[in-house]
Structures are given as structure tokens and as C-alpha cells.
Structure 1
């Protein structure tokens, strides 16, 4: 299943929340390990040296066209033609296949208005932190105190396609949870999309793929 040259996406987490996402490639495989080049941070475009014992999620697109995911950790490093990290190779039982349309998440700041279907609660005018075919996260300005898990709302998102063209995407969303901010990140609210039709979901997925391609182009120069 694993081949030299295969692209991997690594996601690290802090306090249960996504912290950073990296891109790397498999340089060599052994019985127990995958040897990967030093991961490149998608946000900064810089290589990162993950410490021994670091745990993270790894995902890749298999030959079957599906996205597969597993949990791994850094077990060491060595010098081949280039310096590489050794990460644990998963067993077949440790692999998880996930829906590709739910997977492609991009960090992006978009204007969004969220209107509760309960008229007694205030609307939230804010910006997104990330978005995928399955849902989104937005900056919480304190309005979440009026909301609770499971609240169903209407979200209107401005999707820009270039400097002068944009469209309004309107969808029903359900609140998953509110997360208190830290010194290095704002408070946020996560939502999942409800009852999207295929046209709506394809519109979001297309936008996410296009933004992801932009990020990769910047990383690869």
C-alpha cells in the first residue's frame, strides 16, 4: 500500500484541536517504519523537524482513490540521501478509510453570517477559520453564550473566486460545540452542514480543492 514517493498529510493536535498540517513524501519503507522527508508546514511553507515521540494523524490517497488515515509517531531519524524521519508503519487493522468529501478542509477566512432559526437568539456576523465539505469553524465573539449544542441555524457564506467574482452560499448548519480560545488562537464555534444537496456540497468541495491547490503551489514555489 505504501510506495516511495507517495504524498502524506500529517496533522498535529493540541488540546484535542487541529494545530498544524504538514505535507511530506515517503522516501523509503521498512518492515516497521515509513521513512519520510522533513514535513513542510502548509501555513508557513517551512520544513519542520518533529520531535521523537511526537504523535499525529497521517492521511494519504490510496490506489483505490480513497483517503486512508492512521495514527503514528516519530520513532527516530537517519540519513539516507537526505535526512529522514522514521514513523511507525500501521497494520491493516489500524488503517481507517474516510470519506474524501469530508476530508478536504482548508484554513480560510471568509465573511459569514449565521442566523439562528430561534428568533430569540442573536445572529453572529464573523469570519470562518476553516471549511470543508462536512462543516466549518468560525470565530466566536462571545455570541456563543446564546447558543447550545444541536442548535440549527442558517449560514450565509461569501465565497470569492477571484478579485472581483464571488457567490453567496446559503446552507443549514448545526452547532457542534463552542471552544474557548487560548493565547495563540481565538475562541471558536464548530458547525456541521445539514441537508446539503449534491450541488451545494460539490460547490463547497470544489472551492476547498481550489484553495488547497493554491496552498500547494505556494509551498512548491
Structure 2
């Protein structure tokens, strides 16, 4: 069963902040065109706050059929359109990808990967990730490093694949939370704010390979 025009969607947006990733937003399908769902800007019902989305944001969604059964699917933001209302274009799910079973859509794995960062368009340094996922990452920084929530980053993440090849994934991101660890280092949680489909797929490919490797151990 595919989603239809005027159906309500309940959405979660991938984030490296687990609390943020759990928040559910309400939207409505305004139109369907060429494999894309055009939806209203998602809103947090309790407060009326609109959720700002970015190109490439990864989404987990569900809608209800006539019997009230929830149908879940994953998608991502393809673009934006200004009509009478501002609309968000997201990828239409394939029929066989829609399920009645809820599942964690944002794959995240523990991984110590090298990443080059440009902080606020100025400072450059190298860090190592703590975990990596399709919706965001976290990395470790020295305690003296001046990083804070809201800082913007440009990142080059080095991805080693099982076949021996190496790729760089380039993206822009924003720090959502900084946690001081007992070791004196900082754990920095980051969400992607500008990432192409191709770059995101590089990261997701690494995550799947890493997940399979861990399961075999």
C-alpha cells in the first residue's frame, strides 16, 4: 500500500542526538509527482513549532490505512518547492519497502575513522569518530578544543571498505551537543545539514559493511 495525497505522515528525522531523533513530527502529503511525495513542512503538534529540514535529511515515516494500521517506510529530502505553502520533496518509497513493522531506520555503527574538519570556516584539525551513521556522526575532540553546539563544520570523512578501497565523504554539518567525558576529552555529536545522496550512500555502505563485520565476531 502506497501513501496517498492528503494522508497524514508522522516523521522522525535522523540526528546524532538520540533524543532529537526520537521526536515525532506531523505532516501531510500535498501532492505526488514523478516518484516524489510533496509534503507540508513537518510540525511538532504539542508546540506548533515547524521542523526545518535540509537537503539529504534522512527520514523515518509512517501513515495509517483505513483500518488504522501503521505503515512504515524510510525516505530522504530531495528538495523544496514554494507553492501556496512551502513544500518539502521527499523520495517516494518502493512498494516492497513499506512494512507494518517498526524498525530503526537510521543505521549507526561504532567506528574509529579519521576525519578532517574545518570549524566555522576557519580552524582546521583532524579528529577520530566515535560512531557513524546515515543521519549524523559523533567524534572525540581534545578538551582544550573550543567546540560548542551550533558551530558549523565542513568535514572530509575517510572511509575504508572491505575490498581495500578508500573513499572520502564530504559534507557540511552542525554540532548539536558536546559532552565532557571523564577522560577530559569531549564527545561531539553532529548532524548533517548539507550532504549529497552520493556522499550519504558512501557512509551508509561503510555502515552496512561494518555491521556485518561486527555480527561475525
Relative to the length of structure 2, the TM-score reads 0.50
Task: Report which of the two structures shows the higher radius of gyration computed on alpha carbons.
Answer: 1
Q: Bigger relative contact order, structure 1 or 2, given CA contacts below 8 A and separation 6+?
A: 2
